[in-house]
Amino acid sequence: MISTPAPPRVASVAVPGLGLAGLLASVGLGAAVALGWLPWDRYAKAALLVVQYGLVLPAALRFRRAAGVAGGEPFGRELRYAAILLLCAVAMPLAAHLGDAIYSGDESAYLFQARLFAAGRLTAESPAEVAPPRVFRFQHHLMHEGRWFGKYPPGWPALLAPATLVHGERLLNPMAALMILWLTWRIGLLLFGIVVADHAVLLLAASPFFTLSCVDYLSHAPACLLLALALYCLLLAWRGRHPARSLGGMLLALFLLALVRPYVAAWTGSLLGLGALWLLRFRWRKALLLAGAGAAAAVLALFVLLWFNKLVTGAYWPHAYALYTGTREIAEVSLSPASLWRNLTTLTAHALGETLLAGFPFLPLLAGFAVWRNRRRSKVILLLAALAASLVVAYLAQSRSSFSLVGERYYFETFFLMALLGALGWTEFWAGRPQAARLALGACLLLQMVLFPVYGRRLLDAHAPSRQVLRAVRELPLDDAVVFLRNSVHFRAFDLNPNPPDWRRAPLFLMADPGPARRRDVVCSLGRRRWVTAGYDDARGVALVGAAQPVNCPRPGSE
């Protein structure tokens, strides 16, 4: 008797079909947003997440069960090379195209302080000392007791300063991203082997959250690099490779991190310190020595930060952050239960959703899978998981929006840990199924590649106003003039400060427009002879520059 094969079950056909439909829907939605046919709003983001988790994820799970276990070689070094190529192909040209354009006052403040350091100065002369002080507003800048400076710590501006002399400051963050890839690969190789290391760097570079966040002037990329270096040094000590030297390197990296982003250093440094003490738990003398050295490094970092605050503000306290808001406390951070709950249900929920979308498909699920499977076998994985989640907890106290363009930038410093844990979860989930793993990775890369033009367009649109205005202003055949920048929907004039430290000798002085009634007084107070307005036409996407207007200022001593 000849048996006939049973017809395929409906689920075995329908579920992969839904997965393919999900891929096509994601590509179509991303293309429509990138081309400007659909807005990139909460509805489009929610639809994309529903497609990924409602269609593609069930199909992937069904595909894994159907694939069975088979032999075969895993991916080779082509993954790490693909990661490097992808990062360079996206980040470097985009950074070169953006030039000195900015999208936030944070970038402008960092650059202004870097120009001060490059000129051998800590502060510039405050224009508010010679003009009516209320007319000046530069976001995240202070004009205090005759001094003009940015409110941020000195670490990142000090790194930017040499690059400003050769106009290479825009390339520092992409270069830091390449070094983060290398350190991520080294950490993965040290802990989990070459297969996980190769997957980790690809997951990192294929993430718009990582790659597109490394083309701005913000301090997150160098902070991430220093944190990765500190973790790598700790792991080298854990493996017995020059423990004293490695732990010293960890403390040095954390000290430098405190000068770049003190809040991040406090949270992540505490966890790394606890990890180092656990490493030395049976050698109490060395543990006490490390604890003392760590405390000394923390005190030294605090002293340097307060000393710098005294140099620029004239006092150790209040901090420049507090002076900027006119208080004695740092207003951005609040630990009240009501504020924490409000942040959790609004800012944090939104930030997690944005990062989930811009990160890598199913990365939190893969990382959680890796932690759960290895929770009793590896304390190091628990340390990595605690570090990865630390900034989410830390920024619950941050009561103001970060104004991020791609994911939540406050979580950037520990994202490489999510990539490492996600790569471990990926290799364990697809263990023994190399062909299925290749197809699944290709599908996830397709899901992610469609988001690069979406977020890339958003980056370009956000930088376009300042880029267009700066280009138009530099083409003006004027000197001894004040350029009054006018606000529009997409151009915030008070975010932009391209003025040099010695602004008195510069041909142009740029500032936010105080209004027609005050223009003449400001021009005369600054010792200039003419003014011109500049702004951005939101509808046409071009800069608008008015005609130069001469001003007859009274001579000193005249009535």
Q: Which residue type does 290 have?
A: L
For residue 4, what pLDDT is reported? Answer: 45
pTM exceeds 0.85? yes
Give the SS3 label for residue 459: helix
Residue 81 makes CB contacts below 8 A (sequence gap 6+) with none
Strands 508-512 and 481-485: parallel
Confidence at residue 128, expressed as pLDDT on a 0 to 100 scale: 77
pLDDT tens digits in sequence order for the chain, 559 residues long: 344 444 444 344 455 677 778 788 888 888 888 888 888 888 888 888 888 888 888 888 887 777 666 555 556 678 888 898 999 999 999 998 998 899 999 999 999 999 999 999 999 998 876 555 567 889 999 998 889 999 999 999 999 999 999 989 999 999 999 999 999 999 999 999 999 999 999 999 999 999 999 999 999 999 999 999 999 999 999 887 888 899 999 999 999 999 999 999 999 999 999 888 887 777 778 888 888 888 999 999 999 999 999 999 988 888 888 888 777 677 667 777 877 888 888 888 888 889 999 998 899 999 999 999 887 777 889 999 999 999 999 898 877 777 888 989 999 999 999 999 999 999 998 887 888 888 888 888 888 888 999 999 999 999 999 999 999 999 998 888 999 999 999 999 999 999 999 999 999 999 999 999 889 989 988 889 999 999 999 989 899 998 889 988 876 554 4
Peptide bond into 7 cis (omega under 30): no
Cα 342 → chain centroid: 24
The predicted pLDDT at position 13 comes to 46
Q: What number of other Cβ atoms are within 10 A of residue 236's Cβ?
A: 20
Q: Report pLDDT for 337.
A: 80
Q: What φ, ψ does residue 465 adopt, rounded to 5°? A: -60, -50
Query: Is 152 in contact with 116 (CB distance < 8 Å)?
Result: no
Chain centroid offset of residue 395 CA: 14
Q: Which residues of 66-82 are buried (b: 16+ CB within 10 A; e: fewer)?
A: ebeeeeeebbeeebbeb
Name residue, tokens 């930038």. Answer: 409
Paired tokens of 80: 């790490």
The angle formed by the CA atoms of residues 63, 66 and 71, to the nearest 5 degrees, is: 100
